[in-house]
Structure 1
């Protein structure tokens, strides 16, 4: 499969160098171990927020480092958890004395390595809280997890908690807020094609030209079922039924709705999906108060999308609307 790379072994390092060159006013990049911090870190007296995960999901997480969102991100190798020394170094680099929140997607390696890093940081005198995001309604256990996977709600939690930290909320308040976001968020994804890691150079899994995978994970893990391709209306109906009935969402609820591309889906198709999601929400009496459409948690060049709904009252909406300035999300600054 064709890729714009030099050699597979250098993909992550060279991508980080490109991010540093493109967004040096917003972030700083460090190597050996690899991590990204906001350009003005550490911010004294502010709770710092750190996240991370395997590379190949860009802009997650490095694209969300900056004012009003993450203080640091730890990029692992492609589809591979970052190591404890990355997380330890990043945490120490951004600690401003008010403690550090780790936002962790529920993948076994991520959870284990963040726990190890948190203990190392606590031994060094840094107060660390961790919240695990597990919002995927598709499957309970997968190749990478014990329990539900962490997916789209991660982005919304990073933005909302980042705003709360800027407002001066303490570590316990920001951590509790993150748990609230996780409890009120639900996601599900589908794939129309597989993806190919740079090292393998071939598709991660086989999917027929007329097939789609329902409930796919962001590493290409199998979902609920494989079936013949359907229309956008039919796909949205299946995904939304699983999402809305899980919380459940009800008439009168307000939500933040994110239609996320998996890396290879044209924006025109994502807007078609949003149109269908909006119609379903309207029919159910659910108000889309805020929206996000685009590539935010990808799986290399996979074609497909995910839907995330976050039940959001006025407090969460105000934090969502607060200023943010990162390589990927920018408003109000």
Structure 2
């Protein structure tokens, strides 16, 4: 294993320390317990958004803390949910009196620990709503998951819900927008090679040189099938067909097309994939009105990508377009 690390036990804390130092104009890092909050938080009278989960998916979630997105993010160990204590501490640190929305990827540990944190926060007088993201169409009831997994669509939910909170919507309205966005979003991924968890020292799974895995999870969980390597157009066609079919996108509708890198795929290859996906959607009469391409929800250095579609209406489009200033996503300010 070759990684730019010191002690594997210190990977998360040292990474968060570096992140906080690099982006001190946007975020503040708390070390006891560990979480990242927006500089200047809390904002009185505004709904706060808190998310989090296992590390190894950077820039998710800390990279999306800032104006127009999250108020705080709680990192757990690599591929492991944070415990309730830092979630509660983050909630207390950013609550501005209008309530807090938890955005939680659908993994059993995340769901249980955020549920416990919500109960503890409400015992302290903080109103909490929870939205669970479950956009992965590949499989149901996979490892660590009851139901569908939460994957790259989490970014879309965080961005749109964050814009709703930023414009002053109340907690019920922000939660409704988040749920609508989740319901309008589907994703599916592919892996060419696994990432290596630092404390494990070896890849999370093994693929032969001529194999790829269709429908992989962001922790290396199994997908739908292993198949021989194909040209990228054929891979995109497989992923996109599953996403379009599940979402039920039809000619005349508008979508956000999001091609997400898994950490070890060059931008050149992601744009080749985006090119094909946009061609196919256009040929089907679907308007690609918004786009996002890059590494936003990774799996360490996994080689691969995912394709996400979000069906857009006028309100969701306006919220997607709203100004945002985070370490990983900035525009309009």
The bucket for the TM-score relative to the shorter chain is over 0.9
**Displacement over 3 Å in runs of 4+:** none
1:154 corresponds in structure 2 to 154
Identify the residue that residue 242 of structure 2 maps to in structure 1: 242
Deviation at 1:314, TM superposition (A): 1.1
Find the aligned partners of 1:252 and 1:40 in 2 and give their Cα distance: 43
Map Cα deviations across residues 102-160 of structure 1 (whole Å, 9 max, x no partner): 00000000000000000000000000000000010000111110000001111001011
**In 2, Cα distance between equivalents of 1:137 and 1:118:** 28
Take 2:232 and 2:95, find their aligned partners in 1: how far apart are those partners? 45
Mapping for residues 74-153 of structure 1, pairs under 5 Å: 74-153=74-153
Partner Cα separation in structure 2 for residue 33 and residue 254 of structure 1: 42
Per the alignment, in what secondary structure is the counterpart of residue 192 of structure 1? strand
| C-alpha distance in structure 2 between counterparts of 1:216 and 1:180, whole Å | 25
Partner residue, 2:216? 216
SS in structure 2 of the partner of residue 298 of structure 1: coil
What residue number does 1:163 align with? Answer: 163
- Measure the CA separation in 1 of the matches of 2:180 and 2:295: 24
Aligned length: 333
Q: How far apart, CA to CA, are the structure 2 residues paired with 1:73 and 1:41?
A: 12
Q: Could you tell me which residue of structure 2 aligns to residue 275 of structure 1?
A: 275
Deviation of the 1:53 alpha carbon: 0.5
Correspondence 1:255-274 to 2 at 5 A:
255-274=255-274
Calculate the TM-score normalised by the size of structure 2. 0.99
Spell out the pairing of 1:22-101 with structure 2 (5 A cutoff). 22-101=22-101
Q: SS at 1:205's partner residue? A: coil
Where 2:193 maps in the other structure, the secondary structure is coil
Q: Kindly provide the CA deviation profile for residues 29-50 of structure 1, in whole angstroms up to 9, marking residues without a partner as x.
A: 0113210000010011000000
> Partners of 1:195 and 1:210 in 2: how far apart?
17
Alpha-carbon deviations, 1:197-233, whole Å to 9, x = none? Answer: 0001111111111110000000000000001110111
CA distance in 2, matches of 1:299, 1:135: 17
Q: Distance in 2 between matches of 1:204 and 1:157?
A: 28
Superposed CA RMSD in Å reads 0.5
The aligned residue for residue 233 of structure 1 is 233
The structural deviation recorded for 1:86 is: 1.1
